[in-house]
Amino acid sequence: EAQVTQNPRYLITVTGKKLTVTCSQNMNHEYMSWYRQDPGLGLRQIYYSMNVEVTDKGDVPEGYKVSRKEKRNFPLILESPSPNQTSLYFCASSLIGGRGTEAFFGQGTRLTVV
């Protein structure tokens, strides 16, 4: 089954404790990205990657890091989480162009930083 898998689904952590949210896709998509969803703001793109070893900032990259060492994986790293990073996070993948440009989303990770 074609899917994007995020882990964990729920995470409560304390301020300053480094964490990683994993994301993996099995569709051989070149493009992967991370979003955060906050009430009234919709989804905002944090980082995206056009291919292995190619990453770039989205609209809200501060406080986050990513890496793309393999085509299928795109982990999101919070080196020193703060309470304002409490949010619902989504990973997504897609093709680059043509008829497959829609993003396929993971199930989401609800992060609470206390």
Partner 1 sequence: AQKVTQAQTEISVVEKEDVTLDCVYETRDTTYYLFWYKQPPSGELVFLIRRNSFDEQNEISGRYSWNFQKSTSSFNFTITASQVVDSAVYFCALRNFNKFYFGSGTKLNVKP
Positions touching partner 1 (CB under 8 A) are 31, 33, 35, 40-45, 48, 50, 56, 58-59, 88, 90, 92, 96-97, 99, 101-105, 107-108
In the complex, the smallest distance separating the C-beta of residue 19 from partner 1, rounded to whole angstroms, is: 20
In the complex, the smallest distance separating the C-beta of residue 85 from partner 1, rounded to whole angstroms, is: 18
In the complex, the smallest distance separating the C-beta of residue 50 from partner 1, rounded to whole angstroms, is: 6
Strand 65-66 to strand 76-78: parallel, antiparallel, or no bridges (unpaired)? antiparallel
Give yes or no for a contact between 108 and 89, defined as CB atoms under 8 angstroms apart: yes
Q: CB 52: neighbour CB atoms within 10 A?
A: 15
Cβ proximity to partner 1, 15 vs 107, nearer residue: 107
- In DSSP notation, 87-108 reads EEEEEEEE-SSGGG-SPEE---
**Residue 34's beta-bridge partner residues?**
47, 91
Cβ proximity to partner 1, 17 vs 57, nearer residue: 57
Cβ proximity to partner 1, 78 vs 89, nearer residue: 89
Cβ proximity to partner 1, 9 vs 17, nearer residue: 9
The single-letter code of the amino acid at 14 is: V
In the complex, the smallest distance separating the C-beta of residue 13 from partner 1, rounded to whole angstroms, is: 20
d(C-alpha 112, C-alpha 114), whole Å: 6
